[in-house]
């Protein structure tokens, strides 16, 4: 049984201060993603930051929960991972 | 001001960094704590439960404080085994209700930082440390993502005699300082996702059988993670619930699974469906739990630097320890820093006494005791798949034994065990479990 879940709705409950000037997650080489068969990042990322559309990997760093899973979960270590700038990014009210 | 200089700079305002900061500020040490979030706690997330004994080490008056930073005392604590059909609950009612409390990190850590400020700790929020300064093989400060001045926009340098890395599980600076070789591996961390849920008014205490002086902390095993290696948790806060699951990251990566789909599937289980009916999601979050244990332990000290808390991987998943170990390690680092400041020597030779303190503590002894736990859990998936179902089936037979010859019921139970795991399999599992500790 597979249940489709709207991750955007969940993320919508969480507070963010989005840094429009600095994308803290970057794909090192788009070529590597293109050739990656399993693309596990599309699934294991708990915020659904990584999506594949128009034959391209799209990174919505704005919704990133900064957990660090993709830094080590990418089988090709193809993600340049950094924290957002000070004061930006996820800001938990509960935590 | 063109350059900043402190005796000690602490990177990260979680329990480890703040415990360290409180101890140093109390002794009048010129200390700066740098936090990248908008306030201490805003980047932090845990299950979670905090323990009074550890908090008292830094806030002796706890829990008698105005504006309590905790939610409910933990009075009901235990395990719920989830089978596809139902659950088996195993609970303990605590007599001392002041021993542990449920908590939310954005509130708890903010409380600690307020407390630290009153003790004289300097805290710089909304500031990210981007690098460490290395001079003559010694860490001598950090570089932050703030300009030096209005005129000089280069990143500011903050000099320090000692830098304490309390940066959390994603230990980028610990790697840069050369205290650990490269990033951790997916099998060394658990990805936890959590929802803070609000039930319709008045429903929380009613559904969980609580009053305002009681709280529940439950670990959930089995179908809750769809049988994958990991667990779930359900804790009652004052007016909300903390609910989530944690699964080894390598399992999610290798099986190509969406953690939030597993979470939703768990919420649809008949037992939880009824408990959580009508709940509104107030917040959704994710965090990695460092479970690399002794094998992945970084070198805890270097010239001018020490590592504390999650950055070092100080957690005990089986006994739900992490926040308390962070506090203890922060205190040990503070004691070592005081010693070094008195000596005027900040080299490895002096800071090694932090590791000595650590090795004498139960934290290290526990890490040693549990050194094979992670491998055991990953290699014995029947703990998460077979056993919760088996436990449910056994109790189902036992509790519906009326009107039958009881010897026949016992036979049926044994047949069930044989079918699900085999008597030899169970024996093997018990021996392997025992071997973990002896």
pLDDT, tens digit (0-9, with 9 covering 90-100), for B382-396: 999 999 999 999 999
Query: Minimal Cα–Cα distance from B147 to chain A, Å?
Result: 12
Give the span between the Cα atoms of B173 and B180, in whole angstroms. 10
The per-residue pLDDT string of chain B (438 residues; one tens digit each, 9 = 90 and over) reads: 456 999 999 999 999 999 999 999 999 999 999 999 999 999 999 999 999 999 999 999 999 999 999 999 999 999 999 999 999 999 999 887 899 999 999 999 999 999 999 999 999 999 999 999 999 999 999 999 999 999 999 999 999 999 999 999 999 999 999 999 999 999 999 999 999 999 999 999 999 999 999 999 999 999 999 999 999 999 999 999 999 999 999 999 999 999 999 999 999 999 999 999 999 999 999 999 999 999 999 999 999 999 999 999 999 999 999 999 999 999 999 999 999 999 999 999 999 999 999 999 999 999 999 999 999 999 999 999 999 999 999 999 999 999 999 999 999 999 999 999 999 999 999 999 888 887
Residues of chain B contacting residue A92, judged by C-beta atoms under 8 Å apart: 41-45, 105-106, 283, 285
The DSSP call for residue A12 is H
Predicted confidence at residue B97, as pLDDT, reads: 87
Interchain contact A37–B (C-beta under 8 A): no
Residues of chain A contacting residue B261, judged by C-beta atoms under 8 Å apart: 2-5
Residues of chain B contacting residue A3, judged by C-beta atoms under 8 Å apart: 261, 264-265, 268
Give the span between the Cα atoms of A44 and A62, in whole angstroms. 17
Nearest-by-Cβ selection for B43 from A4, A71, A90: A90
Q: Which residue has the tokens 């429903």?
A: B203
* Most B-contacting residue of A46, A81, A82 (CB-CB within 10 A), to test interface: A46
Q: What's phi and psi for B150, nearest 5 deg?
A: -65, -30
Domain boundaries, chain A: 24-82
Residue contact A72–B184, C-beta within 8 A: yes
Report residue B364 as tokens: 């290290």
Among B386, B283, B165, B168, CA closest to A11: B283
Q: What is the pLDDT of residues A9-51, one digit of tens each?
A: 999 999 999 999 999 999 999 999 999 999 999 999 999 999 9
Give the span between the Cα atoms of B56 and B51, in whole angstroms. 9
Residues of chain A contacting residue B183, judged by C-beta atoms under 8 Å apart: 71-72
Give the span between the Cα atoms of B316 and A79, in whole angstroms. 29
Predicted confidence at residue A2, as pLDDT, reads: 52
Predicted confidence at residue A1, as pLDDT, reads: 47
Is the ipTM of this structure higher than 0.90?
A: yes
Q: How many whole angstroms from its chain centre is CA B219? A: 14
Number of residues written out for chain A:
95
Among B337, B407, B396, CA closest to B85: B396
CATH T-level topology, domain A24-82: Alpha-Beta Plaits (3.30.70)
The DSSP call for residue B406 is H
Interchain contact A92–B (C-beta under 8 A): yes
Interchain contact A90–B (C-beta under 8 A): yes
Interchain contact A7–B (C-beta under 8 A): yes
What is the SS3 assignment for B57? coil
Query: Minimal Cα–Cα distance from B190 to chain A, Å?
Result: 9
Report residue B260 as tokens: 């939030």
Specify whether the CB–CB gap between B280 and B296 falls below 8 A. no
């Amino acid at each position: 049984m597979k249940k489709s879940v709207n991750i955007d709705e969940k993320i919508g409950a969480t507070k963010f201060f989005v840094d429009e000037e600095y994308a803290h997650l970057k794909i090192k080489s788009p070529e590597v993603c293109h050739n990656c068969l399993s693309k596990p990042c599309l699934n294991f990322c708990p915020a659904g930051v990584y999506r594949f559309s128009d034959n391209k990997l799209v990174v919505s760093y704005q919704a990133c929960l900064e957990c660090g899973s993709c830094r080590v979960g990418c089988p090709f270590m193809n993600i340049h991972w950094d924290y957002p700038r000070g004061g930006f990014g996820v800001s938990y009210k509960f935590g | 001001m063109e350059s900043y200089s402190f005796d000690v700079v602490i990177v990260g305002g979680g329990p480890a960094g703040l415990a360290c900061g409180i101890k140093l500020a109390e002794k009048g040490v010129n200390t700066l704590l740098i936090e990248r979030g908008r306030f201490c706690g805003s980047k932090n997330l845990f299950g979670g439960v905090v323990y009074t004994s550890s908090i008292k080490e830094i806030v002796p008056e706890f829990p008698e404080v105005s504006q309590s930073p905790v939610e409910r005392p933990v009075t009901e604590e235990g395990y719920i085994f989830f089978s596809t059909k139902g659950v088996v609950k195993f609970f303990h009612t605590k007599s001392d209700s002041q021993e542990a409390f449920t908590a939310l990190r954005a509130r708890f850590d903010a409380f600690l930082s307020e407390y630290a400020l009153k003790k004289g700790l300097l805290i710089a929020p909304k500031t990210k440390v981007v690098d460490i300064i290395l001079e003559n093989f010694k860490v001598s400060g950090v570089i932050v993502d703030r300009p030096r001045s209005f005129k000089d926009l280069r990143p500011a340098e903050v000099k320090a005699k000692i830098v304490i890395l309390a940066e959390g599980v994603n230990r980028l600076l610990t790697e840069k300082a050369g205290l650990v070789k490269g990033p951790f591996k997916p099998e060394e961390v658990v990805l936890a996702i959590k929802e803070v849920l609000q039930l319709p008014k008045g429903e929380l205490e009613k559904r969980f059988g609580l009053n305002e002086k009681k709280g529940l902390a439950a670990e959930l095993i089995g179908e809750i993670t769809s049988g994958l290696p990991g667990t779930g948790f359900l804790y009652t806060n004052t007016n909300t619930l903390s609910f989530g699951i944690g699964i080894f990251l390598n399992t999610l990566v290798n099986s190509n699974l969406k953690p939030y789909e597993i979470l939703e599937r768990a919420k649809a289980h008949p037992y939880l469906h009824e408990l959580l009916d009508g709940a509104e999601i107030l917040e959704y979050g994710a965090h990695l739990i460092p479970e690399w244990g002794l094998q992945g332990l970084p070198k805890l000290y270097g010239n001018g630097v020490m590592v504390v808390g999650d950055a070092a991987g100080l957690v005990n998943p089986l006994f739900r320890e992490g926040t308390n170990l962070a506090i203890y390690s922060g205190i040990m680092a503070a004691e070592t820093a005081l010693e070094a400041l008195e000596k005027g020597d900040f080299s490895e030779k002096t800071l090694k006494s932090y590791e000595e303190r650590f090795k004498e503590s139960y934290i290290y002894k526990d890490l040693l005791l549990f050194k094979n736990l992670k491998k055991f859990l990953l290699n014995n998936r029947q703990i998460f798949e077979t056993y919760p179902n088996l436990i449910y089936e056994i109790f189902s037979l036992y509790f519906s034994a009326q009107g039958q010859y009881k010897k026949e019921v016992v036979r049926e139970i044994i047949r069930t065990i044989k079918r699900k795991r085999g008597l030899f399999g169970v024996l093997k599992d018990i021996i392997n479990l025992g071997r973990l500790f002896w």
